Amino acid sequence: MKKNLTFLFVLFSLLSFSQEDYFPESYNVKFNDIKSSTFARDSTANALVIYDFGNSHVDPDDFELKTEIKRKVKILNREGFDKATISIHLYNSSKASQSVKNIMATTYNLVGNTIVSTKIDKKDIFEEKYDENHTLVKFTLPNIKEGSVIAYSYTLSSPFMFNYKGWSFQEDIPKLYSEYRASIPGNYEYNIKLVGGRKLKTNTTSVEKECLRAFNGGVAHCGKYVYAMEDIPAFIEEDYMTSKSNYLARIEYELKIFRGFNGVIDNYTKTWETVDSELRGDANIGKQLTKSVDTETLLSNDILNETDALKKAQSIYNYVQENYTWNDEYRIFHEVSVKDLIKNKSGNISSINILLHNLLESVGMEVKPILLSTRDNGFATKIFPVISEFNYLIVQATINDKTYLLDATDKYLNFGDIPFKCLNGYGRILDFKKGSDWINIEPEKPSTVQYKIELNLDANENMSGNVYGKKIGYHALDSRKAYYPNREVYINKIHDKYPYIEISNHKVLSEGKTSPDFIESYDIKYEDNVTGDHIYLNPFIMKFFNENPFKLQERTYPIDFGYKDTYYYAFKLNFDEAYTILEKPKDLALNLPDGKGQIILSSNLTDNSISLLLRIKFNETVFEPEYYPYLKEFFNKIVDVQTNSLILIKKK
């Protein structure tokens, strides 16, 4: 019996292997590329890049950057047909433009055991204007079927050596092999950045002498670089992540120094000391930060006469928050004017927060601006200054030896909080006297959700009671934004989310739309599930998570919650003497590795009541990818506990 099972296993393995025999070694399409029909390493993949190749060099004739690109892609099913439509983005300025030449594209199919190739017709290649500075060249490969292999190549030509061609090893479908070759003349010096954390299979450097000659007789040697990766998983976006640009495996180039053949040297990458000096004199940043403001006109006597430093700062913050409106523009280095903001009552991010900075400073507060990049904008580069990567400005205030991060652009933010979109790890705090520095941006306290629910079950099977909810931190901010613009819509959403309860007497007990918490209370009538003499009650009337947000087979990038999180759920059922409890939820204690999270479920039965307590804690803000399987199972358990923890009640 064992021998038969072993034989069947080996036979199945051979059959599975025979279905996958791709040829990632070259651009040439092989018979087995077309015959292979699956990709076992990622059964969810709709298409697969078998071979991916790029080669960039400076043309010695016209001194333009030429990049040859070749790709061989397997279409696994109909959902992968969109990979047969190719869009090439070209940049153009008023003086020069990129171009694409030598487009060749062929579709390969099997008819019986014969390979049939279909080439694209030149008339099926289109060009369309995308915006003022971008053009799209598009084409769709012909005769696409499930199982097709497409191969296409083209050459990009760019006069913009400032932006050397970067290379993406990773995309939304898996790749078997991706290689990039770069030849860079010695008079161009770039900062080369490998992003994404994946290891290179090949990383070699050599020198080609006299690769480039200028008209004046100048000669440059070229550094020749070869980078390659293999078996690259698809990058699939999922909840709890920052910008995918932080994690996609790729190579980027930032021009550092250009040495002209005429001896002129231009430095493009600057030190932070140089950037600080430039920002200090910048009309939109440094000059605005030193603008005097008429506090006597803008601020009330109550604010000016306040002796408590923290209360005074809070009042000034509330004044800016209430009287000036964000115009939905970031543009933190453009059209920043405190004067125009005061006049128009509306402005961009920098204008509003610089006004806050100046008002606080004018009354003697210690304040500094902080530049940062938002979560969807990507991480700002730390190894050298790239000022264009910052898209947001907030304020740090130090009051009674405690620091507060402030942003007055959101009408619902509590003093000391910043928008969730700003929780992107770190920012650059500007100090024009001592020099700027990096600062961590992470909330000190966890955000929490608490529910306390008490129900009463009478002799006629009527179940009613009260829900008390308290949210702190970012959970409170979300609720304030949902409740205060339209109370009725908020309550209706509770009805829609929990159709089995009837809500009445809803009250919000917290102070207002900028309160640090959001507290609500309401009465409910609960429709129980009666089967014969039994009542089945799920005590989790309010659920923290309705489904597991983590569904990938593998996640290659961190899980970033933005803040630490805690959930409490306390439930009590008081029942009439006409009932008895037959079954209650089992106690549970589960921990994430290294104490990074915890689930505790406990219940207690007394004479005429049963109590249940659930506590969920996430003790870290960011979890590295190796914790993904544990978090996935952790959330499975949370969903299971909230769904299947039934109380079985029987009439006596």
What confidence score (pLDDT) does residue 368 get? 97
How far is C-alpha 299 from the chain's CA centre?
A: 39
Phi, psi of 426 (to 5 degrees): -160, 165
178-237 confidence digits (pLDDT tens)? 999 999 999 999 999 999 989 999 999 999 999 988 877 788 999 999 999 999 999 999
614-648 confidence digits (pLDDT tens)? 999 999 999 999 999 999 999 999 999 999 988 88
Tokens at 477, concatenated: 């901010």
pLDDT band at 528 (very low <50, low <70, confident <90, very high): low
User: Could you say which of 3.90.180.10, 2.130.10.10, 2.60.40.3140, 2.60.40.1180 is the CATH number of the domain covering 2-266?
Assistant: 2.60.40.3140
**Res. 305: pLDDT tops 80:** yes
Q: Which fold has domain 272-441?
A: C8orf32 fold (3.10.620)
76-80, 281-285, 481-485, 575-579, range with the lowest pLDDT = 575-579
Q: At what angle do helices 474-483 and 487-497 cross, to 10 degrees?
A: 110
**Res. 531: pLDDT tops 50:** yes
Tokens at 328, concatenated: 């939905």
Span 141-167, mean pLDDT? 95
| 3-class state of residue 643 by DSSP | helix
- Residue pair 291/347 in contact by the 8 Å Cβ criterion: no
If you compute the radius of gyration of the chain from its CA atoms, what whole number of angstroms results?
Answer: 31
398-425 confidence digits (pLDDT tens)? 999 999 999 999 999 999 999 999 999 9
260-269 confidence digits (pLDDT tens)? 888 888 888 8
Residues forming CATH 2.60.120.1130 domain(s) in the chain = 447-651
**Res. 2: pLDDT tops 80:** no
Q: What would be the CATH architecture of the domain defined by 447-651?
A: Sandwich (2.60)
328-340 confidence digits (pLDDT tens)? 999 899 999 999 9
Residues forming CATH 2.60.40.3140 domain(s) in the chain = 2-266
Q: Which residues contact 119 (CB under 8 A, 6 or more apart)?
A: 104, 105, 106, 142
Share of the chain above pLDDT 70, in %: 96
606-623 confidence digits (pLDDT tens)? 989 999 999 999 999 999
pTM: 0.88
Question: Which one, of 555, 333, 560, 556, lies nearest residue 425 by Cα?
Answer: 560
How far is C-alpha 11 from the chain's CA centre?
A: 44
Report the sign of the C-alpha dihedral through residues 73, 77, 83, 85, in that order: positive
- Residue pair 225/182 in contact by the 8 Å Cβ criterion: yes
**Res. 11: pLDDT tops 80:** no
Residues forming CATH 3.10.620.30 domain(s) in the chain = 272-441
543-573 confidence digits (pLDDT tens)? 999 999 999 988 989 999 999 999 999 999 9
Phi, psi of 616 (to 5 degrees): -125, 130
